[in-house]
Amino acid sequence: MSNENHLTEPIASEDADSESPLRTYEILTYPADFTLELLVTKWKDKEITLAEGQRKYIWPQAKASKLIESFLMGLPVPPIYLYQDPEDNRLKVVDGQQRLMSVVFFFSGFFGERTDVHKPNYFTLVGLDEKSPYLNKTYQELKAKDQLAYNKLTNSVLRSFVMKQIRPDDNSSIFEVFERLNTGGMILQPQEIRNCIYTGKFNEFLKGLNRYENWRHIIGKKGEDQRMRDIELILRFFAALHNIKKYEKPMKEFLNKYMFANRRFPDSRKKKFEKEFKETADAVVQYLGKKPFHLRRGLNVAVYDSVFTAFARQLHNLTHKANQIAQTQAKFETLKQDDEYIGWITSATTDKDVVPKRIDRAEEVLFGP
């Protein structure tokens, strides 16, 4: 997990885990020479979709116009990359969104999403050389008045590389592919990628919890983190609380698997998880105060996951009485001076045996006799 902007305390092992390579995959990759007409049809039929959470369409009309002109002139255009979902065989755009959407918009006759039907932004080819035969032309004009150019455009090919995971029998490789291809000039944080590819009820649930008032007190920032690192902390808590026996390094893959497994998140589990999280956040703030996990520069994720999880395990034993609160505060100071615990929160923080050990140690010190 990156500590950019000091949301989290710099820990070398956490950064190394975030950058660690994942498992070995067997992936079938094959070129698909879709015509523009077929690509647009597949888009309309939702056979091709964007991974949710991707950046919005940002190309100016002149740049999109030059792309269309390239097809009309027979110039080469960079390919797009599509990932075939093993569950429904639909294709998700991993790289090439701007190119694909430029084609879709031109064929529709309108530039960009139509937000105001009373003020349509018609897609005319602008920004071309003044001698270009296609300057200021629309899709409909080509279709009606220049059949040769229209046929050339609709039959032009935008080469697509389709990727399908063969082994292991899941879709975990899409995280790695997305991370390596779809950076948009900026390296995406792990939770930003999960937001794109592990869409569904659980993803939206985590976003909702991230706005909880006492959670914001713990994070130490009123506003939500734009890189979604605070949401990743919530995911880390649920994975540690409910799936720690299956923990394997790297942490990044452990969180990926947990989020994928919970993508269909039933309402019954939602109520249970919401109660666990909010009651734990309330208890942590009441017992330890605001920003309890900020030891130096930013929040220490290893202290957070161990203590927050320990509180969740002990919710049934909390009396919320003044003497228990005072004792727990004193024990928390003792925990932070514990030599073994210090080692588990400062180095090798994502090792297989370290993560459960520090959670157990936090629970033992904070709530033991």
Altogether, the residues listed in the chain come to a count of 369
Is 212 among the domain residues?
yes
The amino acid present at 143, given as its one-letter code, is K
The last residue of a domain, from among 110, 132, 166: 166
Does residue 210 share a domain with residue 344?
yes
Instruction: Determine the Cα–Cα distance for residues 278 and 274; give it in Å rounded to an integer.
Output: 6
Domain count along the chain: 2
Same domain, 203 and 120: no
Q: Are residues 143 and 58 in the same domain?
A: yes
Same domain, 341 and 194: yes
Q: Token match 């794109």: residue?
A: 196
Do 109 and 200 share a structural domain? no
**Which contacts of 264-267 are long-range, i.e. CB under 8 A and separated by 24 or more positions?**
264/200, 264/201, 264/202, 265/200, 265/201, 265/202, 265/205
DSSP structure class, residue 352? T
d(CA 323, CA 132): 82
Q: Look at residue 1 in the predicted model and tell me its pLDDT.
A: 45
Q: How far apart are CA 84 and CA 92, in angstroms?
A: 6
Residues 149 and 243 in one domain: no
**CB distance 110 to 123 below 8 Å:** yes
Same structural domain, 18 and 58: no
Residue that finishes a domain, picked among 136, 166, 196: 166
The predicted structure's pLDDT at residue 58: 86
Residue 49 lies in a domain: yes
- Residue 47 and residue 155 in one domain: yes
Among the candidates 139, 166, 193, a domain finishes at: 166
pLDDT of residue 181: 64
SS3 content of the chain, % helix, strand, coil (to 5): 55, 10, 35
Q: Do 249 and 323 fall into the same domain?
A: yes
193 with 92, same domain? no
Residue 123 lies in a domain: yes
Q: Note the pLDDT tens digit of each residue in 187-242.
A: 678 898 888 778 889 999 999 999 999 999 999 999 999 889 999 999 999 999 99
Range of the domain at 14: 4-23+185-367
- Tell whether omega for the bond before 369 is within 30 degrees of 0, i.e. cis: no
Q: Residue 182 in 3-state DSSP?
A: coil
What pLDDT does 2 receive?
Answer: 43
The whole-number mean pLDDT for each consecutive block of 10 residues of the chain, a chain of 369 residues, reads 63 76 73 95 93 75 96 94 84 90 96 74 94 95 95 96 78 70 63 84 96 97 92 98 95 92 91 97 98 92 98 97 97 97 95 97 95
- Please tell me the predicted confidence (pLDDT) of residue 198: 84
Confidence at residue 164, expressed as pLDDT on a 0 to 100 scale:
84
Residue with tokens 């390239």: 70
Domain annotation covers residue 175 = no
Tens of pLDDT, residue by residue over 280-301, are 999 999 999 999 999 888 999 9
Same domain, 73 and 8: no
287 plus 318 within the same structural domain: yes
